[in-house]
Amino acid sequence: MSAQDQIRETIEKNDVVLYMKGTKMMPQCGFSSRVAGVLNYMGVDFLDVNVLADPDVRQGIKDFSDWPTIPQLYVKGEFVGGCDIVTEMTLSGELDALFDQKGVTYDKDAANKIREANA
């Protein structure tokens, strides 16, 4: 199976997928750590894919999304964005709205606490 096929299958079979450097419990870069931290704090059940473990996936995800950086967040098969976009969406409430629209379970109180702490 090609990296592209593997990526497509992973995104289709999991509601929330974060392609990142490292894992959700041990991120290997600050940007991946920030996005994983937000998702973990909000109680989102997500699959973490460590791109450092497979060079084909590391390049493949960039080609798949036509997005040059990692991390990359996917929700119900839809590419959401990288660290800056996820951060902005979290602070504006857009990420909550997306999770609500897509039927993804998360802790609304935790999301509000993130916004309060960054106000």
The answer to whether 21 and 51 are in contact (CB under 8 A) is yes
Whether 75 maps to a domain, the answer reads yes
Whether 59 maps to a domain, the answer reads yes
Binding-site residues for [2Fe-2S] cluster, please?
A: 29
Residue from 55, 14, 51 nearest 32 by CA: 51
Integer Cα distance of 4 and 24 in angstroms: 22
Binding-site residues, please?
A: 29
pLDDT grade for 101, boundaries at 50, 70 and 90: very high
Whether 118 maps to a domain, the answer reads no
Q: How many helices (H) and strands (E) are present in the chain, helices listed first?
A: 6, 4
52-84 pLDDT tens trace: 999 999 999 999 999 999 999 999 999 999 999
Whether 119 maps to a domain, the answer reads no
Range of the domain at 33: 3-113
Residue 69: which CATH number?
Answer: 3.40.30.10
Token pair recorded at residue 109: 């109180």
Residue from 67, 29, 34, 68 nearest 50 by CA: 29
Domain count, the chain: 1
